[in-house]
Amino acid sequence: MSGGAGLTLLAARSVSKTYCLGAADVPAVRDVSIDVEPGEFVAIQGPSGSGKTTLLNLLGLLDRPDSGEVLFEGKDATELSENERSDLRRDRFGFVFQTFNLIPVLSAEENVAYPVALTGAGSSDGRARARELLTAVGLGDKLGVRPDLLSGGQRQRVSIARALANRPAVVFADEPTANLDSKTADEILELMRGLNEERGVAFVFATHDPRVVARARRVLSLQDGRIVEDRK
């Protein structure tokens, strides 16, 4: 499912980011401009050090650009306060990480319900949403199981369900297949593709995995912090 013409969900306008490493300034992203429409399935690829994770973090409002703007639904998110950015991430964004980032003392159901609780919704709402999503990702029989008793693929499925808990407009996935074997990685990617098509959620990946690139409907190639190709 892809967005209609002219519907820009997320945009970067001439964003740049430089990190200071010791005595050296290292440009990570250089003057990048992109638009992401509702329902897109986009892979940002490039070699290590090309800036793909930095760009993902800028788009996901986990970091601020040194210059340029990040717009969400036409509004400049770079001008928001930290609390406003946090609320926007909670309510409209989802995140999937290669290391899963689940809370180890909570069950699968509790991990997925946690973002719902942060909105102030009742615990019964969170549990109901968690059960629905864990069933959707094939873990309806693992509701009470803690992450340490799940396989890597199952933990990633929990993290995907958690990313969807507050019905986000876009999910950002940073190397989501990096710690998975080939078969499990393929299953996770098919799951994400299905969720994208069924629910209309946009997915934006940072990846060097050719399996992710092969499934993407749009591929942005980064080199030395710049977009060198935008292929659909």
CA separation for the pair 52, 225 (Å, rounded):
8
Q: Please give the DSSP secondary-structure letter assigned to residue 125.
A: H
**pTM of this structure:** 0.93
What's the farthest any 2 CA atoms get from each other in the chain?
53
Mean pLDDT of the chain: 93
Instruction: Give yes or no for a contact between 20 and 182, defined as CB atoms under 8 angstroms apart.
Output: no
pLDDT digits (tens, 9 = 90+) for 147-167: 999 999 999 999 999 999 999
> CB-based contacts of 212: which residues, under 8 Å, 6+ apart?
43, 45, 176, 177, 189, 205
Q: What are the structural domains of the chain?
A: 10-231 (3.40.50.300)
